[in-house]
Amino acid sequence: MIDLKIQNLSVKDAGKGFARISSAKMSELDIEPLDIVEICGQRKSAIKIMPMHSDGNDDLDTIKIDGITRQNIQSTINDKVTLKKIKLRTTSKIVLAPLNLKSLLFLNDTKILLTKIDGHVVTSGDKLVVRLPGARSEEFKVLLTSPSSSSVISSKTKIEIKRVNSTKSNKKITTYDDIGGLKGQLKNVKDLVELPLKHPEIFSRLGIEPPRGILLVGPPGTGKTLLARAIAQECGVNFKLVNGPEIIRKLLMEVADENENVQKEPKAKVFFDGFGDSSLDFKLGIWTSSPDRPEVIRSEIYFAVFKKFKENNINIPYPQRDVHIKSNNS
């Protein structure tokens, strides 16, 4: 039995059902390549083991596992896990529940499914990801295995598909495995976000303030939101996606609610009026009990909007002009 620190498995190895540790640690556990070990984080699971690549850059006290395995053991990067060699058993029967309740894939043809998961190690309660052509995948929850302990699926394993209506969300969980082509950016974000969240004691010991946030900049579709989702999942924190127009709507409605001259019924309305040259244009529509004072009410609302925007670090995109001064040198 040994304790190792979790590191991320390379993208090319992710989803293949194995982890990598050093050859020295394999000898310590008395295991060969593709032997099975029990891996224990906050939850127990099992996985096949392969040796690390011999490039000399890897920490000998680490285990490299993919995002699905980290979810199954409820652990994240840099957490400590315990490995123990276990005896190989074959799964005689497995009951799977598709996490995508709308999917009809494999529902009536488990033979095809069996060819996709033959050789996988499963534990009751695990999530099982089946890779499909075209970079697609189908996710299942392992409801039951026979024997009940961790075991290996074989060509003789009987598969039962059972649909389960769950009150829990079955949203796809994003991990580092889902990110491709952003190696440099991912490393920087890990240093700036993951380290302060998971090891704040380092900054306390050094007497420095940890970074309070970062700004990801890039065109649409380059992976900014995906990267943020992955970091949140790997750090074990909540992720909340907030769109800019929704923030403005909320603040403008607060301004209307806080003004005593604005009627509560009918309620004020915020209109997204269009796109300016360098702005998003909004209008606030209100009902007032003082229609004879429009200039005063409008001024109060303008002051309140300006204050509200300043408190929330929202900048007004005033037009920018360049002034060129020419001098006549005689």
Output the six-digit token pair for 235: 């750090």
Average pLDDT of the residues in 196-225: 80
Closest CA to 44 of 72, 3, 77: 72
Average pLDDT of the residues in 169-194: 74
pTM: 0.58
Task: Write out 279-309 in H/E/C secondary structure.
Answer: CEEEEEECCECCCCCHHHHHHHHHHHHHHHH
Contact yes or no for 231/249 (Cβ under 8 A): no
User: What are the strands, taking DSSP E only, across 192-291?
Assistant: 269-275, 280-285
Average pLDDT of the residues in 50-69: 81
Q: Where are the domains of the chain?
A: 2-85, 90-161, 179-235, 244-311
Region of poorest pLDDT, from 76-90, 113-127, 216-230, 259-273: 216-230
Range picked from 4-8, 10-14, 201-205 for highest mean pLDDT? 4-8
Output the six-digit token pair for 175: 């991990």
Which residue type is seen at 113? L
Determine if the peptide bond prior to 294 is cis (ω within 30°).
Answer: no
Contact yes or no for 86/150 (Cβ under 8 A): yes
Assign 102 a pLDDT band (cuts: 50, 70, 90).
low
Residue with the larger pLDDT of the pair 178 and 245: 245
Which residue type is seen at 49? I
**Rounded to an integer, what distance in angstroms lies between the CA atom of residue 76 and that of residue 67?**
8
pLDDT in the model for residue 57: 62
Backbone angles phi, psi at 188, to 5 degrees: -65, -40
User: What CATH fold (topology level) applies to the domain 90-161?
Assistant: Vcp-like ATPase; Chain A, domain 2 (3.10.330)
Q: Tell me which CATH code domain 244-311 carries.
A: 3.30.70.100
Range picked from 55-59, 72-76, 167-171, 289-293 for highest mean pLDDT? 72-76
**Rounded to an integer, what distance in angstroms lies between the CA atom of residue 46 and that of residue 120?**
10
CATH top-level class of 2-85: mainly beta
Do the domains spanning 2-85 and 244-311 agree at the CATH topology level?
A: no
Contact yes or no for 143/124 (Cβ under 8 A): yes
